[in-house]
Structure formats: structure tokens, C-alpha cells
């Protein structure tokens, strides 16, 4: 019997398809172009070509979240990988499973100009490194990368030497199962201590983080049983948006009423959250109260804050377990929600009279109108930067699975790439991106045409105060000249139109209404440029 041989590049492409991944993001170079060609022409996969290598990682990260799968990207060696370090760090710190197929210079030519120690780069970013051991192990090495991405919850980089690609091997489909069924604690001291604290609480609050997404109904059942209000971390925004006693974001981004309710509570039960210092307001919101953490990753339980009790288990199953024991012990509800005004819990201060220049639009007014008029079934993504805190507070999302913020590494300029990845994961839904002018100039312009080429339903809101806002504030606060943080940018609206989209500049409330009408008739990526006064933008709440 004759065994059909394949080239290594073809078995890599087929291995990606063997894992059910039909969309790949990337930029071709001499170490990966034949693999990409085979993936598209023979495997019939979709390849999304980007303008900058790091963008492919960011798109794959977003695709992973919204498609609930392992996203895949590919780049070539050397500068192809160095251009990905910020993106890999964002994914590693966000605990996002994805696979990067990265070429490497031929082993036989160490003097290649693009040769670099790629393992050390990947390690520095916090991602995992998977060396392709030999041509005949290609399928197993790809399978191991997919397995590791899922169990380690971080990007895994497969290092593919270019001189392997044209060697012949037999392709054997290889997919390793992942054993990740949720676990709960049925009994033990940790559970007993946690239930005791919850049962004795007079004003409990239920807090959910990204690790609890999917357990909404069970957490609501527990909250209703306790008569406790519900809140989320930033990453889980929208999780309880339909509940009467939803407080939205817990911490420095809370409304005044929600902050007071949290400050007055005596017990916080946190599910799937690591209690970052923005969530706890640097510990201020946790003073004089019992704190219980439920997280299936024991390393996350005391990562940022040491609780009074903790349970290493699945959020939803643990919530069910707590309700069971509260019922068994006939513990009465706390009655805390009866003390609260539900409408005030999510009411941020309204816009004040416009103080800004005549050539600009009021930022809060613009956000309030966009909240009223953006498509209801939207997915919202945001870049980092000064403007985003008000966006996070004032722009709602249908649910936690419809929101993504790119804040894991504190970078700006990575929002549009995430928006494009979301568009491929959810092609039937409009994607809305909020970004600042500096972030769009850094990483948005180079990929806006990618969204145009891919015919995406994308609405980009550029908040343009012609400055790097966070730096501008620091100069102003110290009575220093802020001119070094100010820029004469080009018209982003005109640039968007030149790149094949539709751009609209908004410098007044009247022009804002024109832009809002344009959202209803959009037939290509739409960019709305809000011209803002840097002196009239609210301070960051973080």
C-alpha cells in the first residue's frame, strides 16, 4: 500500500482545520506563506490578511472570545514576531486561549538577518512556547499547542522552522481532548466558613467577574434568595443588565448610589473575579466587611486581594450549593435590596451645560445620544485611554458576552483590531468601537482598510481632543504647558473615507444628529469623529 505524503506546510494547515478552526488571521512571509496558501486553496479556510503582524494576534484574541473557540493567527520570523509582543502580552494577561503559528529562520542558516531567540521573546510576553520538534511531529506539535492554549488559558506560540516546510511527512489527524468539566465543593471547612459569613450578613452584595460569565441565572438566583444587589467587574459588564437591582460596574466606575451601597454593605461574595485594585478602589471598598471569593483558578483567589474565605470551584455550581445550604438552614433573606433605590443604582450624573469651544461637541452629551441610538444588538469593544472610563459607564451592552475592553496591558491602539476579530466571530451583529485619537492614530488607521476590504458592519467612534489626554491632564494638574501632549492630527473622517469607508466629522450637536442618521443607512464601515475640547472631558475614574 502506498502512503500518501504531504509537505509539512500542508499538514500544519490541515491540523488547524482538524481542530475546527475555519478562520485564520495573519500576515504572510517566507516562513508561512505556503502554509497559508494550502489553508485557503486546499482546506478552504478563510484567511484575513492584516496590515501589521500584531493585529493578527489581537483579532484572533477577540475571535476566541466571541466565537468561544481557540483563535489562530500566523506571522513570519524575526520582526514578524517582535511586532507581536504587545499583542501577546495583552492575550497572556487576559487569559485568552489562542494559537500563533510563527515561522522561524532555517536552523541551517544562523546568520540569517531575521534570526533571533524567539523563545525568549515569547517567554517575556507571558505566552507559551511550543517548538516544532521535527517534520514528522508537526501534527502532534500543533495539537499540543491547541491543548495547552485551552488548559493554560493563554496564547501558545508554535515555532515552525522554515526549512521544515517542504519536507514530506504522513499526515495523521491529531486532536487531544481537554478535560475541563466544572468542579464544585460539596463539603469542607472552606465552604462552611463561606456559608456562615453569607448567612450572617445583613447587607450582602454579589459581585461577578469574567470567570463567572455563563453562570448569570445561578448568581441571580442566589442574589434573589439573599435579597442582595448584583454588580460586575469591568470585564463582566452587562451580565445583570436586565435585573432590577443591577448596580453595573463595581468599584471606581460605580455610580454614586452604587458606590454608597457597596460602601455600606457588610459582605461581598465575588465569583470569578480576582479583585483588582480598581474594583476594590485600592481596598477602600473592602474595609469593615467580609469578603468571600469563588474562583475555579486557585491562583486567582488571592492574586490581588486576600479574602476572608475562599472556595476553589465553579461559579454556577457553587452558587447552587450555597442556595441549597441556606434553604436547609432556613436562613432568612437579608432585606438589603429593600433599602435601595433601584433606578439610582445605575444613574450616572447627566450631562451639564456645554462649556467647550464652539468647534467641538460635548462628550457626555454625545455619549448619551449614542447610547440612545446605537444598534440594540451591538457588540461593544473599546480601546484604552482617557476617554474610555465614561464610555464604560454610559454605553450599555446587551449582555457580558457582547462587551470587550482591551485593558489587560494598559496599551492604546489595539481596539480596532479586536473589533475586526469580533466581526468575524459574529458576522450577523454590528460591532461598535470606541477609541481615542491617539489610539486610532497608533493602531487604527493601519487596519481600518482591513475592515473595509472585509466588508464588516463596523461603527467606529473616535474621541478626538487632538491630544494624548492622560498626559495632557498631568501637565495641566501641575500648572505646566500641555503643548507637548497636543497634536495636529489629520481629519480622521476624511482618512476613513479615503480608505474606503464613510467618515463623518462631528463638531456640534447638530452634526451629531447627522452622524446618528448615517448609522441607519450605513453600507460600509462608518467612522464618527467626535471633535472634543481637552478641557471639557471628564477626569478618568480609575
The verdict on 372 and 515 lying in the same domain is yes
Instruction: Give the other-Cβ count within 10 Å of 151's Cβ.
Output: 13
Taking residues 189-205, report their average pLDDT: 95
Residue 26 placed within a domain:
yes
The verdict on 144 and 288 lying in the same domain is no
Taking residues 474-482, report their average pLDDT: 85
Q: Nearest to residue 280, comparing CAs of 296, 297, 263, 294?
A: 263
Residue 21 placed within a domain:
yes
- Structural domain including 104 reads 6-169
Alpha-carbon distance of 489 to 444, in angstroms, equals 13
Residue 507 placed within a domain:
yes
373: pLDDT confidence band, cut at 50, 70 and 90?
very high
Residue 181 placed within a domain:
no
Are the C-beta atoms of 238 and 400 separated by less than 8 Å? yes
Q: What is the pLDDT of residue 180?
A: 82
Alpha-carbon distance of 16 to 26, in angstroms, equals 14
Q: What is the pLDDT of residue 354?
A: 52
Instruction: Report the CATH number that the domain containing residue 221 is assigned in CATH.
Output: 3.40.50.1220
Q: Could you tell me what percentage of the chain is helix, strand and coil, using 3-state DSSP and rounding each to the nearest 5?
A: 40, 15, 40
Q: What is the pLDDT of residue 477?
A: 82
The verdict on 425 and 515 lying in the same domain is yes
The verdict on 341 and 427 lying in the same domain is no
The verdict on 391 and 440 lying in the same domain is yes
**Low-confidence winner among 45-54, 103-112, 321-330, 492-501 (lowest mean pLDDT):** 103-112
Which grid cell is 400? 457580558
**Low-confidence winner among 69-73, 202-206, 352-356 (lowest mean pLDDT):** 352-356
Instruction: Report the CATH number that the domain containing residue 120 is assigned in CATH.
Output: 3.40.50.970
The verdict on 165 and 199 lying in the same domain is no
Helix (H) or strand (E) segment spanning residue 196: helix 189-200
Which grid cell is 435? 477609541
Are the C-beta atoms of 66 and 421 separated by less than 8 Å? yes
Q: Nearest to residue 465, comparing CAs of 353, 541, 349, 362?
A: 362
The verdict on 328 and 379 lying in the same domain is no
Alpha-carbon distance of 275 to 272, in angstroms, equals 9
Residue 112 placed within a domain:
yes
Q: For 483-533, how does the pLDDT look when each residue is reduced to its tens digit (9 = 90+)?
A: 888 888 899 999 999 999 999 999 999 999 999 999 999 999 999 999 998
The verdict on 43 and 124 lying in the same domain is yes
Pick the last residue of a domain from 284, 314, 346. 346
Phi, psi of 352 (to 5 degrees): -100, 175
The verdict on 273 and 334 lying in the same domain is yes
The verdict on 337 and 228 lying in the same domain is yes
Centroid of chain to Cα 443 = 16
Residue 353 placed within a domain:
no
Which grid cell is 65? 472570545
Q: What is the pLDDT of residue 503?
A: 98
Residue 356 has pLDDT above 80, yes or no: no
Are the C-beta atoms of 142 and 15 separated by less than 8 Å? yes
Residue 277 has pLDDT above 80, yes or no: yes
Look at the chain and report how many structural domains it folds into: 3
The verdict on 317 and 399 lying in the same domain is no
Residue 407 placed within a domain:
yes
Residue 352 placed within a domain:
no
Residue 537 has pLDDT above 80, yes or no: no
Are the C-beta atoms of 308 and 290 separated by less than 8 Å? yes
Pick the last residue of a domain from 169, 197, 228. 169
Instruction: Give the other-Cβ count within 10 Å of 179's Cβ.
Output: 6
Residue 21 has pLDDT above 80, yes or no: yes
The verdict on 510 and 459 lying in the same domain is yes
Q: Nearest to residue 391, comparing CAs of 244, 537, 289?
A: 537
Burial-class residue 336 by CB neighbours within 10 Å (0-12, 13-18, 19+).
buried
Q: For 418-434, how does the pLDDT look when each residue is reduced to its tens digit (9 = 90+)?
A: 999 999 999 999 999 99
2: pLDDT confidence band, cut at 50, 70 and 90?
very low
b/e map of 224-255 (b: 16 or more CB within 10 Å)? bbbbbbbbbbbbbbbbbbebebbbbbbbbbbb
Amino acid at each position: 500500500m502506498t502512503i500518501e505524503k504531504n509537505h509539512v506546510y500542508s499538514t500544519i494547515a490541515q491540523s488547524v482545520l482538524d481542530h475546527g478552526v475555519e478562520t485564520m488571521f495573519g500576515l504572510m512571509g517566507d516562513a508561512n506563506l505556503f502554509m497559508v496558501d494550502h489553508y485557503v486553496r486546499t482546506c478552504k479556510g478563510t484567511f484575513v490578511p492584516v496590515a501589521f503582524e500584531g493585529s493578527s494576534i489581537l483579532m484572533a484574541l477577540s475571535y476566541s472570545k466571541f466565537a468561544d473557540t481557540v483563535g489562530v493567527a500566523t506571522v513570519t520570523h524575526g520582526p514578524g514576531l517582535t511586532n507581536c509582543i504587545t499583542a501577546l502580552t495583552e492575550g497572556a494577561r487576559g487569559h485568552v486561549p489562542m494559537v500563533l503559528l510563527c515561522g522561524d529562520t532555517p536552523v541551517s542558516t544562523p546568520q540569517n538577518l531575521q534570526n533571533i531567540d524567539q523563545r525568549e521573546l515569547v517567554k517575556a510576553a507571558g505566552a507559551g512556547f511550543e517548538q516544532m520538534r521535527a517534520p514528522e511531529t508537526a501534527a502532534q506539535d500543533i495539537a499540543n499547542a491547541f491543548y495547552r492554549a485551552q488548559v493554560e488559558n493563554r496564547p501558545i506560540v508554535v515555532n515552525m522552522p522554515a526549512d521544515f516546510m517542504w519536507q514530506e511527512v504522513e499526515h495523521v489527524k491529531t486532536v487531544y481532548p481537554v478535560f475541563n468539566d466544572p468542579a464544585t465543593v460539596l463539603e469542607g471547612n472552606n465552604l462552611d466558613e463561606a456559608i456562615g459569613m453569607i448567612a450572617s450578613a445583613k447587607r450582602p452584595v454579589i459581585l461577578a467577574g469574567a470567570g463567572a460569565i455563563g453562570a448569570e441565572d445561578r448568581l441571580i438566583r442566589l442574589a434573589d434568595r439573599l435579597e442582595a444587589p448584583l454588580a460586575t467587574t469591568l470585564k463582566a459588564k452587562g451580565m445583570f443588565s436586565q435585573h432590577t437591582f443591577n448596580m453595573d460596574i463595581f468599584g471606581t466606575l460605580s455610580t454614586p448610589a452604587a458606590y454608597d451601597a457597596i460602601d455600606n454593605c457588610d459582605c461581598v461574595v465575588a465569583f470569578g473575579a480576582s479583585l483588582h485594585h480598581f474594583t476594590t478602589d485600592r481596598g477602600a471598598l473592602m474595609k469593615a466587611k467580609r469578603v468571600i471569593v469563588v474562583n475555579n483558578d486557585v491562583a486567582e483567589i488571592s492574586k490581588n486581594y486576600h479574602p476572608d474565605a475562599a472556595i476553589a470551584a465553579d461559579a454556577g455550581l457553587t452558587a447552587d450549593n450555597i442556595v441549597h445550604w441556606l434553604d436547609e438552614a432556613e436562613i432568612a433573606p437579608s432585606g438589603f435590596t429593600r433599602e435601595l433605590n433601584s433606578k439610582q443604582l445605575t444613574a450616572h450624573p447627566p450631562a451639564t451645560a456645554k462649556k467647550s469651544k464652539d468647534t467641538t461637541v460635548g462628550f457626555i452629551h454625545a455619549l448619551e445620544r449614542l447610547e440612545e441610538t446605537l444598534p440594540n444588538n451591538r457588540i461593544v469593544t473599546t480601546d484604552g485611554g482617557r476617554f474610555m472610563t465614561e464610555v464604560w459607564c454610559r454605553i450599555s451592552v446587551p449582555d457580558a458576552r457582547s462587551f470587550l475592553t482591551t485593558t489587560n496591558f494598559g496599551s492604546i491602539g489595539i481596539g480596532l483590531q479586536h473589533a475586526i476579530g469580533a466581526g468575524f466571530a459574529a458576522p450577523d451583529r454590528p460591532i461598535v468601537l470606541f477609541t481615542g485619537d491617539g489610539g486610532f492614530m497608533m493602531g487604527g488607521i493601519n487596519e481600518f482598510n482591513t475592515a473595509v476590504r472585509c466588508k464588516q458592519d463596523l461603527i467606529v467612534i473616535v474621541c478626538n481632543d487632538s491630544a494624548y489626554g492622560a498626559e495632557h491632564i498631568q501637565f495641566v494638574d501641575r500648572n505646566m504647558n500641555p503643548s507637548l501632549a497636543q497634536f495636529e492630527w489629520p481629519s480622521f473622517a476624511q482618512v476613513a473615507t479615503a480608505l474606503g469607508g464613510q467618515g463623518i466629522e462631528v463638531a456640534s450637536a447638530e452634526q451629531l444628529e447627522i452622524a446618528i442618521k448615517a448609522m441607519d443607512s450605513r453600507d460600509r464601515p462608518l467612522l464618527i469623529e467626535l471633535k472634543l475640547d481637552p478641557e471639557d472631558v471628564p477626569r478618568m475614574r480609575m
